[in-house]
Amino acid sequence: MTTIRVSAYRWVPPFAQGLARDLRVRWALEEAGLPYEERLLGFGEQSSASYRALQPFGQVPAYEEDGLVLFESGAIVYHIAGRSERLMSADPATRAQTLAWMFAALNTVEPPIQFLIQLDLLGKDAQSAQPVRAAVLERIGKRLTALGDRLGQNDYLVGGRFSAADLLMTTVLRSLRHTNLLSEFPLLDAYRLRGEERPAFQKALADQMARFAENAPPQTQ
């Protein structure tokens, strides 16, 4: 029997809980109906030589499957999607479109959102950061507008049904939860909620959050 193992943090601070990127892989595995084991990492363990052999940058997640080792959450989700029509159509043209939107989620929509998160973690009220933050918000707004135009009245991005593209895009949009930006885009907010309501997402999130609760430092419990 194939054994799949996914690395994840034992615990992260509350602002990152539910956003750590192993969630994407957990969700994809749940959608595909593939069981997996966890490799939980404590502070500093991701810098070890043994872990860097799996993930060159010491990040989460890493994916192991009977000798196959993968890193980068998008690549891992793509690998899983190739094994399940729940995540990717068997039709070649639809598969290609799904891959394009997977790249769009990670390469076009996510980068300015991650930049905003970094700015806000450093202190969004800092006087010097305000012009930069305003420019980043403008860029995010343009990306969200284009995404909303593409989605229109459709429930999903490609082929009229949920796919790996929607899985990744939903996780990207969830990263805006510390802002009210999505409230300005009701169609996208409804799209995000549609993804979060899926039983596979709920299971993946519950499993991630359970590990954080089990391993929380005493002062955070």
CATH code assigned to 4-85+200-220:
3.40.30.10
Residue from 26, 36, 34, 108 nearest 61 by CA: 26
CA dist., res. 207 & res. 203, Å (int)? 6
The third-level CATH classification (topology) of the domain covering 92-198 is Glutathione S-transferase Yfyf (Class Pi); Chain A, domain 2 (1.20.1050)
Q: How sure is the predictor about 121, in pLDDT bands with cuts at 50, 70 and 90?
A: confident
Are 70 and 62 in contact, with CB atoms under 8 Å apart? yes
19, two tokens: 């956003």
| Residue ranges covered by each domain of the chain | 4-85+200-220, 92-198
Which residues on neighbouring strands pair with residue 40, listed in sequence order?
Answer: 8
CB-based contacts of 49-53 (< 8 A; 24+ apart in sequence):
51/7
Distances (CA, A) of 50 to 45, 56, 192: 9, 10, 37
Question: pLDDT for 22-47, tens place per residue?
Answer: 999 999 999 999 999 999 999 889 99
- Tracing tokens 């363990």 back to the chain, one arrives at 45
Report, as an integer, the average pLDDT of 76-99: 97
CA dist., res. 93 & res. 36, Å (int)? 30
The pTM of the full predicted model, rounded to 2 decimals, is 0.95
Question: Across all residues in the chain, what is the average pLDDT?
Answer: 95
Say whether 86 sits in a helix, a strand or coil: coil
